[in-house]
Amino acid sequence: MPPIVTPSSSESTPSPAQIFAIANQKGGVGKTTTAVNLATALAAVGESVLLIDLDPQGNASTGLGVSRSERSPGSYEFLLGLAPLTDCTRESKIPGLSVMPASVALAGAEIELIDLERREHRLADALNAPGADARQRWTTILIDCPPSLGLVTLNALVAVDAVLVPLQAEFLALEGIGALSNTVARIKKNLNPKLYIAGVVLTMVDRRMTLSQQVEADVRAHFGDLVFGTTIPRNVRIAEAPSHGMPVLIYDNACAGAQAYILLASEFIRRRRTATESPSHEPAS
């Protein structure tokens, strides 16, 4: 494994673990890429990280090199209470990074959850169950959400402290973002009062294109300080890495995409510390 150039971070990580959902109901905006590479960058600076793949497409599992035959028990069994945390998680090939893989069975969970008691709380209950103690086992837990606002994503939003929203820097980037903001506000009001938006990450940015610049300006005007200063450039090495079953940070540590995710991790750590210190976090309207 090539050495990883890491952000300089020596501060102690908060304990117990903070949990983040990476969500946007729009497809293909860079949720999984951000989940896999942020998780890898955090593990590289010495954090102990769990990445929960909550998308039946299983792209985060693929991106970490978990073969299809190794995906069960995983997030489906955990969500439905069919298997305990220790059975549903395993170490990835990245030191410090554990994964809870997703199998295609998770596609059925959307329907199966409907008739269950506490159907929006299943993931939170499972993570907080005595004996699971997920927040004590890792320093950061990231959840890669599917491109929908269905019951599976709701379970993630009820279980987490905060949401990280990747936005693709292209036409209609903000389309549907109101639905996500409204969902976050509704969950905060009714199901998870501490929920906040940790930030918006612009992905697939191409600063040579006027459109990309315009979208970035629009998104910054709309969300203000919620938008990370770090943006992720469109970079072919990022697109290639998953087919090799590895994060771009491992596939080509020197490429612009990998370096951007390292900077994003530094900013994420800084912002998380600030958020922990200031108690009021209102989601964007």
β-sheet bridge partners, residue 141: 19, 50
Pick from 71, 61, 151, 149: nearest CA to 105: 71
| Helix or strand holding residue 99 (H, E) | strand 97-100
Sign of the alpha-carbon dihedral angle for 83, 106, 64, 5: negative
How many angstroms separate the CA atoms of 33 and 60, rounded? 8
Using CB under 6 A as the criterion, what x/- string covers residues 207-226 for binding ligand ATP?
A: --------------------
Q: Which of residues 92-151 bind ligand ATP (CB under 6 A)?
A: 147
Instruction: Report the residue from 13, 18, 25, 32 that binds Mg ion according to the rule CB under 5 A.
Output: 32
Which option in ligand ATP, Mg ion, none does residue 238 bind, with CB closer than 5 to 8 A by kind? ligand ATP
With CB under 6 A as the contact rule, which of the stretches 46-54, 132-140, 172-180, 238-246 interacts with ligand ATP? 238-246
Any idea what the Cα angle at residue 151 is, between residues 110 and 59, rounded to 5°?
70
CB count in 10 Å sphere of residue 131:
7
Which option in Mg ion, ligand ATP, none does residue 95 bind, with CB closer than 5 to 8 A by kind? none
Instruction: Report the residue from 2, 5, 16, 27 that binds ligand ATP according to the rule CB under 6 A.
Output: 27
Name the residue nearer to ligand ATP (CB basis): 13 or 231.
Answer: 231
For residue 145, the minimal CB distance to ligand ATP (Å) is 8
Instruction: Report the residue from 17, 29, 124, 143 that binds ligand ATP according to the rule CB under 6 A.
Output: 29
Using CB under 6 A as the criterion, what x/- string covers residues 45-74 for binding ligand ATP?
A: ----------x-x-x---------------
Name the residue nearer to ligand ATP (CB basis): 125 or 240.
Answer: 240
Size of the site for ligand ATP (CB under 6 A): 20
Instruction: Report the residue from 25, 34, 59, 192 that binds Mg ion according to the rule CB under 5 A.
Output: 59
33 is a site residue for ligand ATP (CB under 6 A): yes
Name the residue nearer to ligand ATP (CB basis): 247 or 257.
Answer: 257
With CB under 6 A as the contact rule, which of the stretches 73-81, 95-103, 219-227, 228-236 interacts with ligand ATP? 228-236
For residue 146, the minimal CB distance to Mg ion (Å) is 7
Size of the site for Mg ion (CB under 5 A): 3
Pick from 233, 177, 130: nearest CA to 26: 177
Pair of tokens at residue 283? 């989601």
For residue 166, CA distances in Å to 19, 105, 115, 248, 252 come to 16, 26, 31, 17, 22
Do residues 53 and 101 make contact, with C-beta atoms less than 8 angstroms apart?
yes
Residue 150: helix, strand or coil by DSSP? coil
28 φψ region: left (φ > 0), alpha (ψ -120 to 50), beta (else): left
Amino acid at 190: N
Do residues 281 and 272 make contact, with C-beta atoms less than 8 angstroms apart?
no
For residue 30, the minimal CB distance to Mg ion (Å) is 8
Pick from 184, 177, 200: nearest CA to 264: 200
Which residues would be at the binding site for ligand ATP (CB under 6 A)? Answer: 27-33, 55, 57, 59, 147, 203-204, 232, 234-235, 238-239, 242, 257
List residues near Mg ion by CB under 5 A.
31-32, 59
